[in-house]
Structure 1
Amino acid sequence: MDTQSVITRTITVSGGRFAPGHLGELTQHLPFEMVDEALTATRTTQSRLRDLPSRVVVYLLLAACLFPEIGYPGVWRKLTASLTGLPLVIPTTSGLAQARRRIGVAPLRWLFDLLRGPAATVGQRGTWWRGLLVCAIDGTTLTVPDNPRMLARFTKHRGNHGGTGYPQIRLVALLACGTRTLIDAVFGPTTTGETTYTPHLLRSLRPGMILLADRNFGAKDLITEIADTGADVLVRLKNGRKMPVLARYPDGSYLSMLGRLLVRVVECEITISTTAGRHTGVYRLATTLTDHQHYPAAELITLYHHRWEIETAYLELKSSILGGRVLRARTPAGAEQEIYALLVTYHLLRTAMADATNTQPDIDPDRASFTIAYQAARDQLIQAANVIADTVIDLVGTIGRHILANLLPARRLRVCPRIVKRAISKYQARGPNIDRTSYKATVGVDILTPADP
């Protein structure tokens, strides 16, 4: 006789018209009460109960960041896929658009300001260095639709082959290295440069941090403003800049002045060797950490390499999540709403990843796969799984278990030319004889001792 087995699954979500308002397991990091508080604080709670309550619309905007390849009606289907048997509405495209306009930007901005900040860690490697929280700052651009309303505020980049083709928004972020959680961010038209946006981020710097920055942020006034917050700085300077030698230290560094700010300078020659040859570059680093015994020059050079983590974070935002796509929004206000939703969603994913690796402090957070976390979060949303936390809090969760079961191998140094591997054009603008191989590499560092001026 044939036997049949029946598997049942209980889904616990909010009731009635609020049921589609969730983010799968990530809802535990952004519970209903938090979203309701954001709506109350920004006075965007619906005045009467609608088919699309404001709380549901907030979760819809965040869920859309997990599914950038489909429109909002498709995202709605993902949110309601497992809510069978419930009397759910099927909103029209125009209804979803009206609901997004109704709540505006304010609640998403409020949530970002509430959630942003370094994740709690237990002294994990790459997160702290000699008692200082390692942070990085840098900028990038996001692309928006090409229409008159966008062009009234945002501009296209000029350049070869006609420029970018689409208007762009500049985003400057302050990031906690290791966990890559967002400490703060600011964005706006690209007509304003990265260093002009940076003062808006100074509110989030404090003593006990060390900020890593590239040459673009090496202006003396800006570095002085950052140092005035109490945070320390490790910034690369242009090699041709004249720096007075006030005192020399045994580790090869020397004391100097950057405007009115006393700094310590480390100059080094870094050689990358592969089977294809060697490449050498000269770096000049300046830091407010003037104690050469407690903060050795060789360790500062190694520490500066962590600045690239913010580049990886931007890759995760623009490639892993957006897939190189133009933002959905058709208006400047809609773009601002969408970017805040994107920042909140990215931060929630990174928080879930930090919680998972934090249970095993010997694991470097770099070994957590963002792609695994992203795909697991998508699956949990479609299943409406783990929306409401049990009485016993599971710090790892399903997303975390996927992360820990699929850790990346320890990172090895590899180099590859920074060129487009698959260009939009069918023509090979740089020629067919470009070596695109990724090579294993070794690094040699020599600290240089400049002559007295």
Structure 2
Amino acid sequence: MITSTMPKRVQILKHKFSTSIGLPFKELLPEAAIIEIISELKIKYRCRLFDPIVTLWAFLSQVLDADKSCRNAVSRIIAHLVGEGVELPSTDTSAYCQARIRLPEKFLEKLFYKVALGLEEKVIEEYLWCGREVKVLDGSNVSMPDTLSNQKEYPQHKNQSCGCGFPIAKIGVLFNIATGAVIALVIDVFNTHDIQLARKLYEFLKPGDVLLGDRAYECICGFS
């Protein structure tokens, strides 16, 4: 049986994280798990306050926080350090912003999959449909900062005049309906068809999975 309380639980957790003090993701995403991936990817970093671990914890909180400013993210780090008996850093946000930029995309991607798979392993029988896992396929569009590199990689819509629009990308995601976690994500230029993105996600399905999607994916032969 698939529960219908998932959205409510997500909202409760989101509210809890956004109203908490300090770095709540420290408990959910232990330092050891992050270091394991850093070691796998052989990522080198200096021993400083804004290392990949603290920066990631702050970044995740920033995404869910009602106040998404970098200043608020730094304030969370300071609140976290108050009880640690160490010298508190400046409230200046430049070091944090630079550290966030330094987070390797591959590092985030690896961590992303590790968390999703870990949640799947904990799914019990009652959350399956007829004993099968249900995976949901969906797509959307996202805009991003108007930089030369973004415009080159993800050009704005052709109907927009040069300098009057933002780079736009098409994303496709596959998530587990039982855990609510995204299993895989692909990104391409704006005019990419949903079926093209879906083909890239097919490799993340397992034998026996049930795939659920809207009418954009009605051509099931697209997965052959």
**TM-score in same-fold range (> 0.5):** yes
Distance 1:42 1:73, change over 3 A: farther
Which 5+ residue runs of structure 1 have no aligned equivalent?
A: 1-21, 225-453
2:36 alignment partner AA: E
Find the counterpart in structure 2 of residue 206 from structure 1. Answer: 206
Shift of 1:112: 0.9
Cα distance in 2 for partners of 1:68, 1:147 equals: 26
Any residues of structure 2 matched to 1:222-237 within 5 Å, and which?
A: 222-224=222-224
Q: Secondary structure at the match of 1:152?
A: helix
TM-score calculated relative to the size of structure 1: 0.39
Q: Secondary structure at the match of 1:175?
A: strand
Find the counterpart in structure 2 of residue 192 from structure 1. Answer: 192
Shift of 1:167: 2.3
TM-score calculated relative to the size of structure 2: 0.74
Find the counterpart in structure 1 of residue 39 from structure 2. Answer: 40
Cα distance in 1 for partners of 2:51, 2:141 equals: 33
Find the counterpart in structure 2 of residue 5 from structure 1. Answer: none
Any residues of structure 2 matched to 1:289-304 within 5 Å, and which?
A: none
Contact kept in structure 2, 1:155 and 1:191, CA below 8 Å: no
Distance 1:91 1:110, change over 3 A: farther
Q: Secondary structure at the match of 2:207?
A: coil
**Larger Rg, first or second structure (1 or 2):** 1
* Structure with a larger share of its residues in helix: 2
Find the counterpart in structure 2 of residue 52 from structure 1. Answer: 50
1:81 alignment partner AA: A
Contact kept in structure 1, 2:62 and 2:73, CA below 8 Å: yes
Task: Kindly indicate whether residue 108 of structure 2 is the aligned counterpart of residue 116 of structure 1.
Answer: no
* Bigger relative contact order (CA 8 A; separation at least 6): 1
Distance 1:64 1:155, change over 3 A: same
Shift of 1:177: 1.7
1:35 alignment partner AA: I
Distance 1:178 1:34, change over 3 A: closer
Any residues of structure 2 matched to 1:189-338 within 5 Å, and which?
A: 189-224=189-224
2:42 alignment partner AA: R
From 48, 65, 68, the equivalent of 1:67 is: 65
Shift of 1:82: 4.8
Shift of 1:152: 1.7
Cα distance in 2 for partners of 1:93, 1:23 equals: 16
Shift of 1:169: 2.0
Q: Secondary structure at the match of 2:54?
A: helix
Which 5+ residue runs of structure 2 have no aligned equivalent?
A: 1-21
Contact kept in structure 2, 1:169 and 1:188, CA below 8 Å: yes
Task: Kindly indicate whether residue 196 of structure 2 is the aligned counterpart of residue 169 of structure 1.
Answer: no
Q: Secondary structure at the match of 2:153?
A: coil
Cα distance in 1 for partners of 2:70, 2:211 equals: 38
Tell me the number of residue pairs that the alignment of Structure 1 and Structure 2 aligns.
197
Cα distance in 2 for partners of 1:44, 1:91 equals: 27
Find the counterpart in structure 1 of residue 155 from structure 2. Answer: 155
Distance 1:75 1:131, change over 3 A: same
From 77, 80, 92, the equivalent of 1:79 is: 77
Contact kept in structure 1, 2:58 and 2:76, CA below 8 Å: no
Shift of 1:195: 1.5
Cα distance in 1 for partners of 2:80, 2:29 equals: 20
Shift of 1:159: 6.3
Distance 1:81 1:155, change over 3 A: same
1:83 alignment partner AA: L
